[in-house]
Amino acid sequence: MKLRDQLWLSFHNLMLHKIRSVLTSLGIIFGVGSVIAMLSISEGAKREALAQIESMGVDKILLSTRKPPPVGKDVSENTTNSNLETYGLTEVDRLHILHMDNVKSISTARNSRKSILRGTTQLDVALFGVTLDFLSESRSEIVQGRWLSPIDRDRNVCVLGMNARRSLFSIQERNVLGKVVGIEDNAFVVVGVLENQKGTTIEGMGSPNNGIFISRDASDAIYGKMSVQRISGRTSIEVVEYDTFIVKVLDVSYIDFTAKRIAAYLTKKHNSVKDWEMVVPLDILKQREQTQNIFTIVMSSIAGISLLVGGIGIMNIMLANVYERRKEIGTRRALGAQKGDIIRQFLFETIFLTSIGGSIGVSIGLLIAKIVTRYANWPVAFSVWFIILALLISAVIGIIFGTYPAWKAAQQNPIDVLRAE
């Protein structure tokens, strides 16, 4: 019998028992559907997380100031009405790190909470005094106006983050350039609006979209380096030179060595006081990739088990099918059909079942992934290779779990079968 005739006969036999064929394929349908859904959700989460980390810059080391915990004294025992505390990253630190091997540049920022006034709108937002190279180092873009320039070092001009712009100005005010915002007792003219579309979060600063940016020189000249707070009748004065260093390296392959040198220097220079923190995005990226790969393997294994169960179910049903169709098998053998013809017929039927079930499962899996995206706001990623892999696995399952029932059918003795019928 020609191959085309065998394929048609196999498909025709399946159509004669539509309900049983569908029920037989359910295991594969749900198995493939779960594979596609899990892989899409897992890959989407992986890409989203890696994009967030990569947006920080894999060629950078992020240093930030943090307030050290009190050591060896109780503030309540202080008999004076004021407390002066100096901590964090300093200009000496910046110059020393800048002259280290493999360090290309350092972008700096000072961060303080200020009361921003625009008309009747008053907000408490982050004010950043930054160096001019901060825009490129933070992976942000100017969407309106311009960035700070050298002539702005001693001028009262500012650049708004996108979220700060939306908070201070209404939707109707599309052009905010030239507008004036009051930062405490000082008026600043808006010269630009920046946006970080990748959602970068900088250690010690948060998202650039939430802040207002002025030149570091203007920040030091107007607001100084001291933060004064009065709590319970006691004045607390904190002196912080820098809140953030964005250290850019020349060679990424030596970034871990450079980070260790910086950490060793800061530990020694600051007398082992942990008033700084370090983040290496490349290390986080590697750790996250490893975690996501393990997660993908686990999820795929769970889905693979469901496919295995579906394959075993198909084999059991096909064995029952062979028993029910003994008369058909005996008749075909008596009319001259070879064992190979019988094997191919039942094997083709199994492959048809698993392939059709796999195709339906792919559609269900994609639908589940889209539902998750829409209602759970969870990122998913579709890949053609996932679909091809799922369909190939479905066909392979048909071959593996259909071989034994097909062989069993071919071993039927036509004389014994017809005599029994």
Q: What is the pLDDT of residues 3-15, one digit of tens each?
A: 666 667 666 666 6
Residue 375 lies in a domain: yes
- Into how many domains does the chain fold? 2
Taking residues 155-180, report their average pLDDT.
88
Q: Give the residue carrying structure tokens 């311009």.
A: 146
Residue 281 lies in a domain: no
- 267 with 340, same domain: the answer is no
**By three-state DSSP, how is residue 402 classified?**
helix
Residue 81 lies in a domain: yes
- 48 with 87, same domain: the answer is no
Q: Give 235's Cβ-side CA count (13 Å radius).
A: 8
Taking residues 140-163, report their average pLDDT.
90
Whether the pLDDT of residue 221 is over 70: the answer is yes
- 382 with 356, same domain: the answer is yes
Distance CA 261, CA 217 (A): 29
- 164 with 265, same domain: the answer is yes
Residue 262 corresponds to which tokens in the numbers above? 């910086």
Whether the pLDDT of residue 56 is over 80: the answer is no
Whether the pLDDT of residue 64 is over 80: the answer is yes
Whether the pLDDT of residue 53 is over 80: the answer is no
Distance CA 338, CA 232 (A): 98
* Contact indicator for 96, 207 with CB cutoff of 8 Å: no
Return mean pLDDT, the chain. Answer: 79
- 341 with 391, same domain: the answer is yes
Q: Give the residue carrying structure tokens 């053609």.
A: 384
Q: What H or E segment, with its residue span, contains residue 373?
A: helix 339-376
Whether the pLDDT of residue 419 is over 70: the answer is no
Cα four-point dihedral sign 172, 174, 176, 182: positive
- 133 with 265, same domain: the answer is yes
Distance CA 66, CA 69 (A): 9
Residue 62 lies in a domain: no
pLDDT score for 142: 93
- Domain of residue 163: give its range: 67-274
Sorting pLDDT into bands at 50, 70 and 90, what band is 82?
Answer: low
> What would the pLDDT profile of 188-198 be if each residue is shown by its tens digit?
999 999 998 76
Residue 7 lies in a domain: yes
- 267 with 329, same domain: the answer is no
Distance CA 119, CA 182 (A): 9
Residue 160 corresponds to which tokens in the numbers above? 């708004």
Q: Which of the listed residues 221, 244, 274 is the one where a domain comes to its end?
A: 274
For residues 232 and 202, which has the higher predicted lDDT (pLDDT)? Answer: 202
- 36 with 124, same domain: the answer is no
